[in-house]
């Protein structure tokens, strides 16, 4: 299973964009990049996933480097409700998710 490296914590101001980085240099050609987040006292919540191309959905955008060794989760306008631990996960097609330490995002009003 490919490992991921994320900063332990990041801060953002409310209503500003947030770029959460993730390094995954050992990713293999068929591995997917997933992002989940976990709000306090809740189970993890799916954010987005992709393989090679950049992806957009109603929650966020995922920018994947051309060599796929890194990716960035983009929250376009952070709100206080986006304060959470964000996990970048690399998985094969088995559905097996191995969570790393994640990035704790603080959003300041």
Partner 1 sequence: DTEVTQTPKHLVMGMTNKKSLKCEQHMGHRAMYWYKQKAKKPPELMFVYSYEKLSINESVPSRFSPECPNSSLLNLHLHALQPEDSALYLCASSQVGVNEQFFGPGTRLTVL
Q: Which residues of the shown chain bind partner 1 in the complex (CB under 8 A)?
A: 32, 36, 38, 42-46, 49, 85, 87, 91, 93-102
**Which residue, 75 or 85, is less far from partner 1 as judged by CB?**
85
**Which residue in the block uniquely carries the two structure tokens 């191309």?**
53
CA 58 to CA 19: how far, in whole Å? 16
Structure-token pair, residue 60: 């966020």
Nearer to partner 1, 53 or 94 (CB): 94
Supply the minimum distance, in Å, between the C-beta of residue 79 and partner 1. 21
* Least separation in angstroms between CB 57 and partner 1: 10
Closer residue to partner 1 (CB): 49 or 69? 49
Q: How far is the CB of 24 from partner 1 (least distance, A)?
A: 15
DSSP for 58-98, written as a single string: SS-EEEE-TTSSEEEEEESS--GGG-EEEEEEEE-TT----
| Cα-based torsion angle of the residue sequence 2, 28, 57, 4 in order, rounded to the nearest 10 degrees | 20
Tokens representing 54 are 């950049």
The least distance separating partner 1 from the CB of residue 67, rounded to whole angstroms, comes to: 21
Closer by beta carbon to partner 1, 41 or else 109: 41
């Amino acid at each position: 299973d490919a490992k991921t490296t994320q900063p332990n914590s990041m801060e953002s101001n409310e209503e500003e964009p947030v770029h959460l980085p993730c390094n995954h240099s050992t990713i293999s050609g068929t591995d997917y990049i997933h992002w989940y987040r976990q709000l306090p006292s809740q189970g993890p919540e799916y954010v987005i996933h992709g393989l090679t191309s950049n992806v957009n959905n109603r929650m966020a955008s995922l920018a994947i480097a051309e060599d796929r060794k890194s990716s960035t989760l983009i929250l376009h306008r952070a709100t206080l409700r986006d304060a959470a631990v964000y996990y970048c996960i690399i998985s094969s097609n088995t559905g097996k998710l191995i969570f790393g330490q994640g990035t704790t995002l603080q959003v300041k009003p």
